[in-house]
Structure 1
Amino acid sequence: MTIQWTDTPESTLRAGDVEIEYACWGASPDTAPTLVLLHEGLGSVGQWKGFPRALAETTGFGVFAYSRAGYGGSDPVSLPRPLDYMTREAIENLGPVLDAAGIQQTILLGHSDGATIAAIYAGSVADMRVRGLILIAPHFFTEPGGLAAIKEAGEAYSDGDLKPRLEKYHNHVDVAFYGWHDVWTDPAFTSWNVADAIDHWRIPVLAIQGRDDAYGTLAQISEIEARIYSPVETLILPDCGHAPHLEREAETLAGVTEFCTRLRRLEQEVVSLD
């Protein structure tokens, strides 16, 4: 293991030329599989709140969360971000973070942008460490309602209380916000589509979506079901918006725990040759 396995908020690791904020809970990678958490487009380690610790307790897995460059306490990035920033994050940056953290066997758990990054990684990189995907409110293509909600977030950031709320979690808050907002509101981004990543998955998937998510509809989940070749389970939560792990934590935690437990049991089964 190449890092200290600790939930100390100030902990950092170096991935390439970037200093990355991280925290961990539960079993270390040399003793159990690891759930690697990839945050949303305005997220960070701290914004997972109590969910990582609860995951470690209910699954018996280790949990590793990190703030991508430009977020939380990690190094900033240059703006504007490229329109394919999620693909670049998956292809160029996620692997080195897993290496630096000493991850040996993992289920990638992503929320929103983080779910998309996990999805692209699983469909683009041959990494035998990745044994499953848990995608919370994933995006594979843009939808008019989601784009409108992001424009509203821009108004809340410039004229409302969103900026001071985000400043609690991000050392470079303008980089975090505009790096996300300005890509999604770029007119050229309306044609963005990475759904072909689904075609290349060969691992079990759990997809979780709130029915009242302002940033994406059940069309994102339907796209998975229409294209996937590997086993998929879905958890659709009523009266739930964009953050099921915070808004409906008990149901989300139960669904994730059941998925992880079943996947681990299947991998540990001894196949009889008789």
Structure 2
Amino acid sequence: MTQVNALEHWVDTPEGKLFAQDVKPQNAQGVPIILLHDSLGCVALWRDFPKQLAAVTRQRVIAYDRLGFGRSDAHPGRLRRGFVEAEAEQGFAALLRQLEIDDFIVFGHSVGGGMAVGCAAIHGKHCRALIIESAQAFVEGLTLQGIRAADQQFAAPGQLQRLTRYHGDKAEWVLRAWVDTWLDDAFADWNLDALLAQVQCPLLSLHGDQDEFGSPAHPRRFTALAAGPSVMRLLPGCGHVPHREQTEVVLAEVQRFLG
């Protein structure tokens, strides 16, 4: 497998510093792939996937902790409707500026997939491809059901420590930012339809047919509404985290799509 080297960066934003991991394979080719994590995620929770992705694509892979997550600074307030779309002009834009990135490919998991749609739409002149995994295109009953169940699980003694391991004293904020935002009545009719209509680059939508946070209605909506060419892959027997549950399948699909 191609040898890769990892660097660390601290990205300045008006609200605090963001942590980023920059994986560079030897003899890197093409444009960087930028990873956007899920609602409870961070760089560390991608585990070895960035290195595996860099090795098989021979492209630079950059993952960063959004404000409030992982090793990045704390978020100054609560998340509000519009936070998914806003990331493209906030942390993501700051990363592009500081690392002097021009063209890119964006890869987002879960809510990070929704943010990736925003990045592809708003930075359309520079986005060469969009890859989304287990992403939500709208607020679905199954998504809310999964969030309520997870909230109950985290209420059990010791469960919040699972998040503390990755987010430190920001763990409670991370959980509430996910649960309270999605369950808020003001978020009930949220969707990505308008942004999808602005996505001109090729789109790959990966989704597990056993995803506990979203039905196949999401990848169907992504591929139906995106303005550019799109491919949908429904992964049999897979849940909400395909890059962990079916790593080799995801890597092969990405290779095929980018090839």
Matches within 5 A, 1:1-274: 7=6, 11-27=9-25, 32-123=30-121, 125-171=122-168, 172-260=170-258, 262=259
CA distance in 2, matches of 1:16, 1:27: 31
Cα distance, 1:201 vs. partner?
1.0
Q: Output one character per residue of 1:19-72: Cα deviation in whole Å (capped at 9) or x when no partner.
A: 011111124999641110000011000000110000010000000000000100
**Is the contact between residue 28 and residue 34 of structure 1 (CA under 8 Å) also seen in structure 2?**
no
- Rounded to whole Å, the distance in 2 between the matches of 1:64 and 1:184 is 27
Check the 8 A contact 2:11/2:94 in 1, yes or no: no
CA contact (8 A) 2:15 2:75 kept: no
Letter in 2 for 1:200: Q
* Segments of 4+ moved more than 2 angstroms: 5-9, 27-32, 90-93, 126-129
**TM superposition shift of 1:74:** 0.4
Q: Structure 2: how far apart are the matches of 1:205 and 1:59?
A: 17
Moved more, 184-193 or 204-213: 184-193
Map Cα deviations across residues 189-233 of structure 1 (whole Å, 9 max, x no partner).
221112221111110011000001011111011112322231111
Gaps of 5+ in 2: none
Tell whether the 8 Å contact from 2:110 to 2:136 is kept in structure 1 after alignment: yes
User: Cα offset for 1:12?
Assistant: 2.0
Q: Distance in 2 between matches of 1:174 and 1:122?
A: 31
Q: TM-score with structure 1 length normalisation?
A: 0.87
In structure 2, C-alpha distance between the alignment counterparts of 1:27 and 1:255, rounded to whole Å: 20
SS in 1 for 2:253: helix
Amino acid at match of 2:96: L
Give 1:89 deviation, angstroms. Answer: 1.7
Query: For 1:28 and 1:88, how far apart are their aligned partners in 2?
Result: 34
Percent of aligned pairs with the same amino acid: 28
* Distance in 1 between residues matched to 2:124 and 2:100, nearest whole Å: 14
Amino acid at match of 1:147: L
- Kept in 2, the 8 Å contact 1:21–1:67? The answer is yes
User: For the residues of structure 1 that align with 2:138 and 2:85, how far apart are their CA atoms?
Assistant: 13
Q: What's the Cα RMSD here?
A: 2.0
